Each structure stands twice: as structure tokens, then as C-alpha cells.
Amino acid sequence: MTDSLLFIPDISGFTKFVQNTEIEHSQHVISELLEVLIKANTQDLRLAEVEGDALFFFKENEIPSQEKLLAQIETMFTAFYSHLKLLEKNRICPCNACAAAPDLQLKIIAHCGDLQFITVQQKQKPFGECVIEAHRLLKNSIASDQYTLISKNLSEIIGLPDDYKSKLYDFKGGTDAYDGKEIGYVYSEIDKNKLKLTSFATPEMVEFQCPPSVVIEKEFDVSASQLMELVTNYSYRHHWAKGVDKFEYNPDEVTRLGTEHVCVIDGKRLNFTTITKKVEPGHLIYGELTKDLPIDSLYQFFTFIPVSDQSCRILVEMYPIAKSLLKKLILTLFIKRAIKKSTNTSLNTLKSFAEKN
């Protein structure tokens, strides 16, 4: 029978990351990274299982060429570290999970063998000695958490020398014993500085030449970081944002610059994009922009100002933009008053919700 490919990308540092950071945001970060790796699958690999911090892919009865396999490995490393770069550049959340995400690393194990299957709950799952070996190769003696490992069996099939070198790869030979059986492999540490990471435009820092049209300030008996989480985590919005029928957002994504969500009000969809502006050191800032109102645009910012470890002030500033005479009239007569009333009501509800929870 033709050998099958087994391919396991594994996020290094996952256990420490989850144990020492905010659980919800660490889950979101890992979920995003796993999705990125899945989308970086260029060789039609089948996903057998999501294994916590790892993905178990296989390709039945087919082994890609050396060129294709190395290109697949490079593509996944590039996608992974490009996304970490995006998380770092566009981060607004001060929590430990979002701050520590750029420290995560990736390793990829590739093996081959005679693949068999078992049926569990009417789903076929890869089974056999080679599956066990592939997973055991994750526990090796390589003194790094950022590398690719290709088993000796697979490297011989694709003609990869033990000392293969390229701009990205510098392979060396190695071996480890599992249950009394030695398994040989070749491995190369990956220098992320040699990857062609995707360039992401950093959303510009918004600046205004005029004062905000609406300013509201309120004190809260919760910390600034806790209050920011209640505002920026859209799963909490329905508890306090009044007048909105429904919120649409990606529940597996950490809010950062450039992320989007939708407010549905009386059947009308208002699309919001996360933005920012400069604030004083020590203050936290979250901003939103929508262009779906009867005026040209509305910028709104929430600044969280620590007072003590368990109290803060929130400063809400709104900049409605209207260019035409008609829109300026609509803004003056209706929208500004409605915005101020709605925001006051929502902040009062947010205060009650935050201090009870």
C-alpha cells in the first residue's frame, strides 16, 4: 500500500499561555491561530482532528514532493507569524493574553506510513502505528520550540538529505527512542526573520482639529481594564447598549484595531470599525467608526481612566461629521440630541451591570 502523509502543526507554549493569561482571550487567540493554519493548507490535506493546540492533517495514499512539502511548511509558518504580527501591531487590549500572544511559537511534524482508519461516532479517524509515531515525535529532544521535523522515513521518500540547506532551512539529523524503538528524523529550526511575513497596514491614529460634539464622563467602581473588557467584548453589549436589537460579530476574535461588528437597530444595519486616537499615558482607549448614519460619519471614543485598582472614570467623546448643509441640519436638530440621550442611558446601564458583575 502507498504511504500516507501525516502532518501536525503544533503551537508551542500553549499550556503556559493559557494557564498564565486571561482564559477567554487566550482561547480566542488560539482559535484564530488554528483557523489561520487551516486556511494555509495548500496541499489539500485532510483535517482529522483539532487537538487543543495542534492540528492533525493527513493525505491518504499520497506523499507530496520535497518541493511541495517544504513549501507547505513555509506557508504555514509564514501565515502563523504574520498573524501574530497583526495581533501585536493592532492590539488595544491590555490583558496578559493579548500582550503575551506574540511569544507563541510553532513547530510542525511530518511523518508517513501505512494509514488505517477506525470509525468513532460514524466518523472515520486515522489509526495505526504511524499515527502513534507522529504524535510521539512531538516529544523529542530538540532544544527549540520553533522548528520543523521530518521523520527519516519521509525524508528518504522525498529525497531530503540530512544536511539540506536553503535560505530558510538548515536541516540536521536526529534520533529519539520511544518505547524502546529508535525513530530517526531530520529537523530545522525556523528563523521567523527569514520568513516573508504579510504586510499589514496599521490603522492610522485618528486626530481631530475640533473638540468633540458630545462629551460624557462617569465614575465606575470597577478597574479600568475590567470596564474596557465589558465595552470591547461584544458578547456583553446586549447587557448595556440600549436601543440595539442585535449585535453581529466574530465570537472567536479578540477585538483589535480594524475589527468590525454590526449593530442592528430597527432593521437597519450599522457597520462599525475599531479605531483609536492618542491618550495620556496610563489611560486605555477604545474607538468605533460608522458611516451608516444619515450624516457622513460618527467617531466615538471610550477612554478608561484609572482612579484606583478597583475604580475608574470613563470619558465618552463623540465626533459626528456632517458635510452638507442638509446633513448639518439633521445633525443639529435630531442626531446629536438622540446620541447624547442614548449614550447616557447606556452608560447608566453599563454602570449597574459592571458593578453587579
- Phi/psi region, residue 44 (left: phi>0; alpha: psi -120 to 50; beta: rest), is left
Q: Which residues contact 238 (CB under 8 A, 6 or more apart)?
A: 244, 247
Residues 107 and 16 in one domain: yes
Check residue 14 and give its pLDDT: 66
E strand or H helix at 76: helix 66-89
Check residue 1 and give its pLDDT: 54
Residues 188 and 257 in one domain: no
Q: Which residues contact 263 (CB under 8 A, 6 or more apart)?
A: 241, 244, 246, 247, 269, 270, 272
For residue 286, list its beta bridge partners. Answer: 302
pLDDT tens track for 119-128: 888 788 898 8
Q: DSSP assignment, residue 80? A: H
Is 204 within a domain? Answer: no
Residues 55 and 143 in one domain: yes
Q: Average pLDDT, whole number, for the chain?
A: 93
Check residue 18 and give its pLDDT: 67
Residues 159 and 221 in one domain: no
Q: Which amino acid is at 160?
A: L
pLDDT tens track for 64-90: 999 999 999 999 999 999 999 999 999
The answer on pLDDT for 168 being more than 80 is yes
The answer on pLDDT for 144 being more than 90 is yes
Q: How many other C-beta atoms are found inside a 10 Å radius of the C-beta of residue 324?
A: 10
Higher pLDDT, 112 or 22: 112
Per-residue confidence at 20, pLDDT binned at 50, 70, 90?
Answer: low
Residues 184 and 221 in one domain: no
Residues 118 and 178 in one domain: yes
Residues 134 and 270 in one domain: no
What is the edge-to-edge ordering of all strands in the sheet holding 147-151? 46-51, 54-59, 4-12, 105-113, 147-151, 181-189, 172-178
Query: Average pLDDT for residues 257-284, to the nearest whole number?
Result: 94
Check residue 19 and give its pLDDT: 67
Per-residue confidence at 204, pLDDT binned at 50, 70, 90?
Answer: confident
Cell of 181: 524503538
Residues of the chain above pLDDT 70, percent: 98
Is the C-alpha dihedral spanning 346, 347, 350, 352 positive or negative?
Answer: negative
The answer on pLDDT for 16 being more than 80 is no
The answer on pLDDT for 131 being more than 90 is yes
Range of the domain at 95: 4-194
Is 202 within a domain? Answer: no
Q: Which of 47, 52, 48 is nearest to 13 (CA)?
A: 52
List the Cα angle 330/335/338 in 5-degree steps. 150
Residues 246 and 305 in one domain: yes
The answer on pLDDT for 333 being more than 90 is no
Is 201 within a domain? Answer: no
Is 335 within a domain? Answer: yes
The answer on pLDDT for 24 being more than 90 is no
CATH assignment at residue 252: 3.30.530.20
The answer on pLDDT for 179 being more than 60 is yes
Cell of 54: 495542534
**N-term to C-term CA, the chain:** 60
- The backbone torsions φ and ψ at residue 311, rounded to the nearest 5 degrees and listed phi first, read -155, 155
The count of domains in the chain is 2
Residues 234 and 159 in one domain: no
Residues 134 and 22 in one domain: yes
State the pTM of this model.
0.88
Cβ contact 290:271 at 8 Å:
yes
d(CA 298, CA 313): 22
Query: Average pLDDT for residues 296-319, to the nearest whole number?
Result: 96
Residues of the chain above pLDDT 90, percent: 77
Is 203 within a domain? Answer: no
pLDDT tens track for 226-249: 999 999 999 999 999 988 999 999
Point out the least confidently predicted range of 19-28, 31-40, 49-58, 243-252. Answer: 19-28
Is 267 within a domain? Answer: yes
Residues 50 and 184 in one domain: yes
Residues 288 and 319 in one domain: yes
- Max mean pLDDT range (7-16, 120-129, 148-157): 148-157
The answer on pLDDT for 54 being more than 80 is yes
Is 205 within a domain? Answer: no
